[in-house]
Amino acid sequence: MVSELAAVQIFSTSYQKFGRTNLMEKFTQNNPKSRSDRSRATISRRSMGISGVLWKTLGLFAILHFAALAGIFWAVEPALKSGHTYDPIASPWIVGLLGSFVAGGWLAIVAKRTASVLLIVCFAASEGLFLGGFSAYFEVVFPGFAIQTAFATLSAVIAALALFAVPRIRIAGRSAQFIFVALGAYFVFALHNVAVSGLEFLPDHIAWGRGSVTVLSVPLGLIFALHVVASMAYSLVLEFERIEYTPRPLKPSQHEWRAAFKVMATIFSHCIETPRALASRK
């Protein structure tokens, strides 16, 4: 009798410790509603992090865009005054390149455990100055290449920021994300060229890369720009994937600023690789 009571007590204790937990786990695993609740919670946590990154990246991209316009006007202003439209200056993209290296190097090496908003903004402004000045200067050296490459880079960023704001795109696979971003980037790239075609004060060879040599009646600058669109789109997809799944040791706001800086650094790396690719093709 005593042994039976002891066995019953042991069984009840083990059930309270393990049985109920196992039953609850099996219930939640087999219950579709609980699985959907967990998936919605996971998506919500990811969305809270990536949404802040997208907004901060959008702000930095706006700064980059205005700085790029300033770099273009700075580069072509002496040429417009002198009347020699094919004589821009190199000062804007050199200043922007040095500023980007200083701000980016400090953030990547010295302040890698913090997020200095001022330095990140300075990096975005310097990057825009470099991109605008570089495009205006090297459009003379490589007609049909530089402006199209700038259009391709900016188009991929615009498409990525717009599409990653959609939750269904964020939870899609990498291949699907790349296809959507690339298609959106090609659409924005076409809009850039259509808009430039209607501006009478710009040379005719800028739109669609018509100033470059042709291959089977297709401008080589346009072919190169289409490659840049695909490469930039894939790099942005990888970067946002890393941002979404990387552990976050910093505070939420610091993590978002740091992630936005990494997106801008991805753009800058493509801007740096472009002169090398153009030089090799030359």
**pLDDT above 70 for 166:** yes
pTM for this predicted structure: 0.75
Residue 156 domain-assigned (yes or no): yes
Q: How far apart are CA 225 and CA 139, in angstroms?
A: 13
In whole angstroms, what separates CA 132 from the centre of its chain?
Answer: 18
Confidence of residue 276 (pLDDT cuts 50, 70, 90): low
Q: How far apart are CA 90 and CA 246, in angstroms?
A: 39
Residue 106 domain-assigned (yes or no): no
Residue 260 domain-assigned (yes or no): no
For 185-199, the pLDDT digits (tens) are 999 999 998 888 877
% of the chain at pLDDT higher than 70: 70
43: tokens are 């998506």
CB neighbour list of residue 35: distance below 8 Å, 6 or more residues apart: 28, 29
Q: How far apart are CA 56 and CA 255, in angstroms?
A: 11
Residue 193 domain-assigned (yes or no): yes
Q: What is the mean pLDDT of residues 158-181?
A: 92
For 171-222, the pLDDT digits (tens) are 888 999 999 999 999 999 999 988 888 776 666 677 777 777 788 888 888 8
Q: Which ranges in 84-145 belong to alpha helices (H)?
A: 91-105, 117-141
Beta strands in the chain (DSSP E): 214-215, 218-219
- The total number of structural domains in the chain stands at 1
Residue 51 domain-assigned (yes or no): no
Say if residues 150 and 68 touch (Cβ distance below 8 Å): yes
β-strand partners of 215: 218
* Average confidence score pLDDT of the chain: 78
What are the backbone dihedrals phi and psi of residue 83, each rounded to the nearest 5 degrees, phi first? 90, -5
Residue 245 has a pLDDT of 77
Return the ∠ at Cα 146 (arms to 61 and 206), rounded to 5°: 105
- What is the 8-class DSSP label of residue 251? -
Q: How far apart are CA 124 and CA 257, in angstroms?
A: 12
| Backbone dihedral region for residue 216 (phi beyond 0: left; psi -120 to 50: alpha; all else: beta) | left
Residue 78 domain-assigned (yes or no): no
Domain that holds residue 218: 142-245
